[in-house]
Amino acid sequence: MGGPGLLNLAAWSFYVLVLAVQPHQAHSSIRSSFGLNKGGVASPENGLCASSVTIHGYKCEEHEVTTKDGYILSVQRIPEGRVGGTAGTKKQPVLIQHGVLADGLTWLLNSPEQNLPLILADNGFDVWISNTRGTRLSRRHVSLDPSQPAFWNWSWDELVSFELPALFDYVYGQTGQKIDYVGHSLGTLTALASFSEGKLVNQLKSAALLSPIAYLSHMKTALGVAAAKSFVGEISTLFGLAEFNTKWEAVGGFLKFLCDHPGVDCFDLVTALTGKNCCFNSSTVDLLLTNEPQSTSTMNLVHLSQTVRDGVVAKYNYGRPDYNLMHYGEAVPPIYNLSNIPHDLPMFLSYGGQDALSDVLDVKHLLDDLKSHDVDKLSVQFIKDYAHVDFIMGVNAKDAVYNQVVKFFKGQH
């Protein structure tokens, strides 16, 4: 799933559909566990640190980052592992980015011994966890309110242009060190697009991209394809909604409508949407269903659907040549040329043979864009049995993936 990563629309349709059936029960539990007020904003004393980190004996700090387009993001810092470390020793910062319709909690659902942020902290890293605009802890803006459509006037282009740069600037400013980056699904797409435009690279030490998303042409799910087709050009007339919020009846109705498409099997949606995940347990999925999915902008899902349809990694298509001319100075949205990613940038890519979203053929297309990359700067891991969710919630992900991420990061120092 574009987070637990892309969890692009298709992956998260499963969770959305489940919550559409029991919206009041699911979202009241979110409020109780995170101290949300009626506006859906978490009170400062009840963030991810209190709910998911300090309870396990780790230090944790709540930070705020304001982007240049005015969004106020919640960021958690885990400065050291449970055993601490040598006093005065500078630890290597690592920023961890979730995918769409998820938030920072996604990384923390497994036990401390099994989740990536706390494994990194215990291995001597200074860990920073981001929460994308619109999610439960990042529903603030310097002048806009989530009830206003203008708050939701963004796609993943704005995450590339404003959000990742603000996060990198902040972490770099706090630590004075270049940053290691981990992204899953949509968190890989935004990173790759940023790197291709020369953004972040001066503050970046290396990047680990799990279940990497760039091209989506071979997504192996009938429901995902139906969702993508329905979102392209139709979403505004279908809902008239700027925020894609799973509490709303219209969203649940839309997803039920998708399940009636010919060839769409909504019986086992986790497998149908994300691939045959080998290694997560049902109790973790129950936690996920209690606390996710998070809101995103409808425009963001339209943009992801354009990526599925058009087979290119490009900026948002406004649907009319004159609108595109106004925004880009050309009738067709410019592409993100991934072959422009600096060839000496250390990158680790890990993908799975059972992943229905980050499909093997699409990853090979991405790797073809990186064919001129310095051989000693690109590490690629293929896990035959892994699907999309395993990279975030797999009970064996520490041995299968996370230890390799730690080794890769330490190898760059």
Which are the catalytic amino acids?
185, 355, 388
Geometric angle at alpha carbon 41, from 36 and 42, rounded to 5°: 55
DSSP classification of residue 81: B
Q: Can you point out the beta strands (E) in 257-393? A: 296-297, 347-352, 378-383
Q: Which tokens go with 174? A: 């706090």
CB 12 within 8 A of CB 186: no
CA distance 214 to 123: 30
Distance CA 26, CA 292 (A): 9
CA–CA distance, 14 with 198 (Å, rounded to integer):
35
Backbone angles phi, psi at 20, to 5 degrees: -65, -25
- Contacting residues for 16 by C-beta, under 8 A, at least 6 apart: 101, 246, 251, 252, 255, 293
Residues of 25-49 as b/e, b for ≥16 C-beta within 10 angstroms? ebbeebeebbebeeebbbeeebbbb
CA–CA dist 36, 377 (Å, integer): 44
Is 113:397 a contact under the CB 8 Å cutoff?
no
Q: Which residue has the tokens 């298709």?
A: 10
Strand, helix or coil for residue 218: coil
Read off the DSSP letter of residue 314: B
Residues composing the chain: 413
- Report yes or no: 73 and 167 within 8 Å, Cβ to Cβ: yes
- The number of C-alpha atoms within 13 Å of 81 and in the hemisphere containing its C-beta is 17
